[in-house]
Chains A and B, each alone.
Chain A
Amino acid sequence: MELHLHRLDYTQVGVTSQKTMRLLPALGKKSTQKVAIADHDGVVTCFGMKKGEAVPVFKTLPGAKVARMDLGGAEGTPQEKIFVCSGSQVRGFTKKGKQFLTFEANLTESINALHVSGADLFVCASYIYNHYCDCKDQDYFLSGDKINDITCVSSEKLPHLIPVLACQDRVLRVLQGSELSYDIEVPGPPSVLELFNKDGGEEVLYGTTDGKIGLVQIGDCDAATKWEIGNEKRKGGILCIDTYDIIGDGVNDILVGRDDGTVEVYGFDSSREPTLRFEHVLTESVTSIQGGCVGKESYDEVLTATYTGWVTGLTSEPQRAEAVQGDEVRLSKETQSKIEALSAELEQLQVKVLQGREQYQQSSQSSTAVSAVPVFSINDKFTLCQDDASYSLTLEVPTAIDNLLLQSDVPIDLLDVDKNSAVVSFSECDSQQPNGNFLLATYRCQANTTRLELKVRSIEGQYGTLQAYITPRLQPKTCQVRQYQIKPLSLHQRTHSIDPDRPMNQLSLVGQFSFAEIHSWVVFCLPEVPEKTPAGESVTFYFHNTFLGTQIEATYCKGEGTFKSDNISTISILRDVLSKEATKKKINLNISYDINDDSVSHTLRMIHPKLEYQLLLAKKVQLIDALKELQVHEGNADFLIPEYRSILDESANLLEEYKKQPAHLDRLYGMITDLLIDKFKFKGKNVRTKVSSMLQILDHYDLNSLLDFFSEP
């Protein structure tokens, strides 16, 4: 059965955070549901739709920014009490808007995840988890990395609720009281958790910031992964999930909202495997998603809230055929009155704004007045994409972006993104000048662009800062700068285990440094390390290189640290950066290293299949045009040898593959060059002169001759 949903915009509130819109339970079987939504202005709005118009039930006064919303209520009654958190405070409202709870959690950090179940309240703030029952402190847990979301599973088999935390270091932590029961590794940093069955159960859905979805069954002492959906098409990260039977086949479907504006519905086929049944792309991040009935009774719909506060329904109600009278398109009455009301409001606003502008202008005459424009909200994300080893930067603001200036003090490459329609222009960076710019690029955006996506390719060993200056089309014009660190080992990603059989090089540090100091150096060198110093005496982190597949094991404690990697260049970079950082703090480091000569040939062997594939691909792609010409000339391709014929047959795939990985070969060459230089650097030799002869070998690549070249003294 094919799913057809039509888009209907309902209303707009302020900028919203993730999971801040919920549907209140329906009163009768067929009636429409009310929508509760909270925004960054701190306003909680509850509204219902009447004749296509949003009729507010209640609206609270502005206050601190609301980070999360959940519904609750006494067990056995409809879950229709609204709970919101802002700062370290949790407030509760009845469905009529009466505030019945104000609870100060007294946490040092603001709450960013919330779960309510009966009298139990679970809150999470960065690293801290707290459980309250009837507002009394129950349990407490300190997580190893940032907590992104929380949910609780319950079942008849289990005596009490089991909280599950989604943590940034790619694990779900399952708690028992104040203790960690066990953790579950997931394929990406989890950003959202949702119960698969709303009435409880042990199955939990998770979504990751790199766009993957999965289902795990939480058991007493371990968990089982049911299924996973990858993200081959490189869609955005998951921000919200809900379950609802929108298809109408009696099985709950999964509704998914992503940060690139994609809304998806996954249904289940007979083999209980999720399959994509519907997709729609909105222009901005989908922060909340719910299934229910809002616009018109007995028509199910997917309700979404976006970053800028739009509440939009994707309804199964068939689109009204536009009534045609004479030759003019008649607007439906409801919309007409809506448009009129809006226009009237606009006019009033216009007058107010003009007054504001005038006052602002006048203040510029005074010599004592200051101009301070409030900070506008930016929703940004800078993440490493695993599959092409490049960083993706997304920026989103509530109004249209006018232009964006990118500045970097490290050499990086900007890649073209198809979705991005802005006109980019690179400005000359004079390397002579003392300004240290390696990249200056402006993006002039097309009208109504509120979201920009960029791709950046970094080089390991070159580190610094990428700055983005965002100017929205909003008077008085201001721009805001955001900084993103390009770390020395920027292409590495956290993992939870490494292959122990590889030949490893080791770098050991001994010196008068504290645990916190060495941790801060590791944070400086490697991505995805929590900024907070881990609890305990010592800690071990594992990483793998997304481009080459080499790995790092970092173990350190107060006064001592060891770093192991099968890639000698990684060790070399670590040595340089760590000693530099230590020197900055005037700490004397005793660095020793243990170089395993086998590791170089091991790394070369790891590169080999990639390099061979790329070389072959480049060669084939080079031939395509010539072969096609021959084909046209001769009328057919039968006379060609089978190898060439197969190139012709696969030409489309080959070209696509080639396009997908720009400069892949150059990057591999660069890494092999680094490997050569680093190998001999540890032996105290400078081999820059040998690089050109190595490049010659690469031109006629053969693994053995390259290995021989590397093993030359």
Chain B
Amino acid sequence: MVPIFTLKLNHKINPRMVAVGKFDGVHPCLTAATQAGKVFIHNPHDRGQRPATHRLSQSTQDSDISLLNINQAVTCLTAGTLGPNTTGDTLLVGSQTNLLAYDVHDNTDVFYRDVTDGANAIVLGKLGDISSPLAIIGGNCALQGFDYEGNDHFWTVTGDNVRSLALFDFTGDGKNELLVGSEDFDIRVFKEDQLVSELNENETVTSLCHMHGSRFGYALANGTVGVYDRTARYWRIKSKNHAMSIHAFDLNADGVVELITGWSNGKIDARSDRTGEVIFKDNFSSSVAGVVEGDYRLDGQVQLICTSIEGEVRGYLPASKDLKGNLMDSNAEQDRIRELSQRRQNLLLELRNYEENAKGVSQTNSGMGVIPANTQLQTTLSVRAATEAQKAHVELSISTPNETIIRAVLIFAEGIFEGESHVVHPSVQNLSGCVRVPIIPPKDIPVDLHIKAFVGGRTSTQFHVFEITRQLPRFSMYEVTEDSPAAPAGTVSFSINERPQRVVMWLNQNFLLPEVVESPNVTFHSLRGGGLMSFHMASNGQITLTTDDIDLAGDLVQSLASFLAMEDLSVEADFPSYFEELRTTLTEVDEFHSVHQKLTADMADHSNYIRNMLVQAEDARLMADMKTMKKRYRELFDLNRDLINEYTIRSNNHNALLARLKSVNQAIQRAGRLRVGKPKNQVIAACRDAIKSNNINALFRIMRAGTASS
């Protein structure tokens, strides 16, 4: 299968910022963000020369392309129907500070809004029961939805910076839910502002796309691409390249969409939504920028349109019927025979292994790595406190029961090592039958450790590979302590209707305990921060958690609630030191805001100066007054330097402001995480209102008690 059209646009395309919009209601135009804060619109159908006014200007290189000046680095872009009475699609362009809704056809701004949290991702469509379509942007920990008038109808917070968004009916209730992929490796599902599901992944979620029904595709920053059906993962694959863009398209015309992935090495592949099997692939010479679809030839057929960052565009039509879904240049029969033969070969080799093994070998051939047949590996996990030589860690010890040695240990696990694996390879002098692997999980997540140990003799060149899987419990970096000299000030308390035994069971499953505990009253020592955390359950079901770490408290509450299958849980909490920090942050936000306004005003002044000075300098030149001209230009140069300095100050100020805003958003998220279900949403909504009305005392009251009124 070959592309039915290819274009070279001569403009670079920013990755993930590509859309197709029918701006006049009829003709689809490929729209993408390019360098220098511009957006280009490729309109091959309507070649009329339009006057260059407002933002839009005709490209001098190519008459099919119009350029839109944004004057800021574009961070996201989409096109679609926003307003009720517009002829065509509205173009939405987001940057780190603003969101622009633009009517390309009429060449006017629909609205232009400041968005303090930035816009990393954008999606357009209907959400839940909100009647008008919303342009939903995801920024630093925050989500915001605007209607065609630029009013924000939707606001909520999420755990970390948002990187990807998708709108579709996840729950199957006929209304769209919002899927949010963020930098804390989570995919969260929002039913309006209520969090209904949370899917944990092991890297930043960079793309999300709806496939069909409740099925959706996702891509991670580490090169993983996969498909979920609701909360169950169907398949995933990992490549050494990065997935730049994913899109659902029925390329083989079998009535079911495939997941089309554009990779950083320029590869495009289409994978079956059920199995992940590749049914089609093609290659660009440079990284793929975006994959979209549209009827670009205006012949009633929708094409898959792939773009590369160098501006190459290819369109593919769905396969015709007689190809039978066989898009690759291959012979199915031959492949089948080859596959069967390969399997036969594998079985024959395995059989030969058993036969040769049964025959027995001369003990002299030590290279083969002969080991006693009853060799079994012992693995133990234990918590080790920090010593002078080593940081605190969880120790995995692997040992053989006899004189055999362990040549090397490979541990494959997700999310706890820098790469996906960790290797221990002792030098020849240090070979022994026991290997201790220090593990320091950076987050409190349960992890499966896939251990491969190479066991053999000292001089072997071939080793037996023992494959063992061990689970690291969620809270493994906590050590039980007896004494509690100074109890932490932060507390969380709530009551449950459960027997203490169930809670004890939860403790035993989720902590790495040296021996099974019997009572639900335990004190732990955190190996990461060094603070204490104690867990206490009274006979009336009242549970008290004391710790200074609000994140840990949240994790504990969430873990316990899901273990006990509690749907709602309201909690009273107090974290004096954290709240104090938050109070300072909030005042800082105000300060930075006022500085920001002052700087913006200064900038306007300066640009007036520049204009004046330039005119004066040019006047002087025309009048051949070289001395004055030089002077003016020198002044201009000084002014330029000042402007650059000011810019640095402004950008520092802006970054500091962003960091503070992010931590405020995170604080709301954290307060939410201490609760479960409805109380959680109430807390988030109430906090948001408190911030809007700038009522800081109410904010803290809500965070403590869970409601505003008390």
Contact = CB atoms under 8 A, between A and B. Distances in A.
Interface string A359-383: 1100111110111111110000000
Interface string B356-378: 11101100000111111111100
Contacts of A424: 240, 419
A632 B345 contact: no
B425 interface: yes
B345 A356 contact: no
A360 B357 contact: yes
Contact of A338 (B60, B322, B337, B361): B337
A428 B347 CA distance: 37
A427 B421 contact: yes
B464 to A, nearest CB: 6
Interface stretch (A132-140, A208-216, A471-479): A471-479
A350 interface: yes
Contact of A405 (B239, B370, B423, B466): B423
Contact of A425 (B338, B350, B421): B421
Given A427-B419, A479-B454, A371 B464 contact: yes
Given A331-B333, A635-B60, A469 B454 contact: yes
A447 B334 CA distance: 18
A340 to B, nearest CB: 10
Given A418-B265, A423-B223, A427-B422, A399 B357 contact: no
Contact of B420 (A342, A375, A423, A478): A423
A625 B36 CA distance: 10
Interface in B417-431: 417-423, 425-427, 429-430
Nearest to B345: A12
A319 B331 contact: yes
A635 B61 contact: yes
A356 B340 contact: no
A370 B373 contact: yes
A304 to B, nearest CB: 14
A423 B225 CA distance: 13
Contacts of A309: 345
A371 B36 contact: no
Interface in B570-621: none
B347 A353 contact: yes
B contacts with A: majority SS = mixed
| Among B348, B361, B421, residue most surrounded by chain A Cβ atoms (within 10 Å) | B421
A629 to B, nearest CB: 5
Contacts of A409: 427
Interface residues of B, number: 80
4 closest A-B pairs by beta carbon, nearest first, are A425-B419, A356-B354, A635-B60, A477-B465
Nearest to A349: B347
A422 B357 contact: no
B412 A356 contact: no
A360 B372 contact: no
B50 interface: no
A376 B345 CA distance: 13
B564 to A, nearest CB: 37
Contacts of A369: 372-374
Contacts of B337: 9, 335, 338-339, 342
B238 A628 contact: no
Interface stretch (A86-94, A436-444, A546-554, A615-623): A436-444
Nearest to B12: A628
A99 interface: no
What size tier do the contact residues of chain A reach?
Answer: 35 or more
B132 to A, nearest CB: 36
A403 B353 contact: no
Given A423-B223, A437-B425, A374 B240 contact: no
Interface string B370-402: 111111100000000000000000000000000
Given A435-B430, A474-B346, A366 B374 contact: yes
Contacts of A427: 417-419, 421-423
Contacts of B466: 477
Interface in B185-208: none
Contacts of A537: none
| Among A331, A363, A405, A625, residue most surrounded by chain B Cβ atoms (within 10 Å) | A405
A566 B423 CA distance: 42
A370 B419 contact: no
B462 A373 contact: yes
A407 interface: yes
Interface in B514-538: none
Contacts of B342: 448
A479 B239 contact: no
A437 B408 CA distance: 12
Given A371-B375, A372-B356, A476-B464, A399 B345 contact: yes
Given A324-B322, A405-B423, A349 B351 contact: yes
A512 to B, nearest CB: 31
A393 to B, nearest CB: 17
B655 interface: no
A342 B423 contact: no
Given A9-B338, A480-B461, A346 B347 contact: yes
Contact of A371 (B35, B223, B357, B422): B357
Contacts of A471: 452, 465
Contacts of B236: none
B410 interface: yes
A234 interface: no
Contacts of A469: 407-408, 454, 463
B4 interface: no
A10 B407 CA distance: 41
Contacts of A366: 373-374
A12 B341 contact: yes
Contacts of B375: 364, 371
A335 B341 CA distance: 13
A377 to B, nearest CB: 10
Contacts of B417: 425, 427-428
Interface in A182-210: none
Contacts of A425: 417-421
Given A360-B357, A474-B349, A632-B34, A436 B427 contact: yes
Given A335-B333, A374-B356, A435-B425, 19 more contacts: A339-B337, A342-B337, A346-B344, A349-B344, A349-B348, A352-B351, A353-B351, A371-B372, A373-B356, A374-B352, A375-B461, A399-B345, A418-B265, A423-B223, A473-B346, A474-B350, A478-B462, A632-B34, A632-B67
Contacts of B334: 7-9
B654 interface: no
A359 B373 CA distance: 11
Contacts of B367: 375
A642 to B, nearest CB: 19
Contact of B370 (A335, A372, A435, A482): A372
A403 B452 contact: yes
A428 B422 contact: yes
A409 B426 CA distance: 11
Given A478-B463, A632-B34, A353 B350 contact: yes
12 contacts: A339-B333, A349-B348, A371-B375, A374-B353, A407-B423, A416-B240, A421-B240, A425-B420, A437-B425, A442-B419, A471-B465, A477-B466
A628 B341 CA distance: 53
B624 interface: no
| Among A374, A444, A477, residue most surrounded by chain B Cβ atoms (within 10 Å) | A374
A374 B352 CA distance: 8
A412 to B, nearest CB: 15
A372 B341 contact: no
Contacts of A476: 353, 357, 464
Contacts of B407: 469, 481
Given A427-B417, A469-B454, A479-B462, A373 B357 contact: yes
Interface string B222-263: 010000000000000011100000000000000000000000
Interface in A330-357: 331-332, 335, 338-339, 342-343, 345-346, 349-350, 352-353, 356-357
A308 B361 CA distance: 25
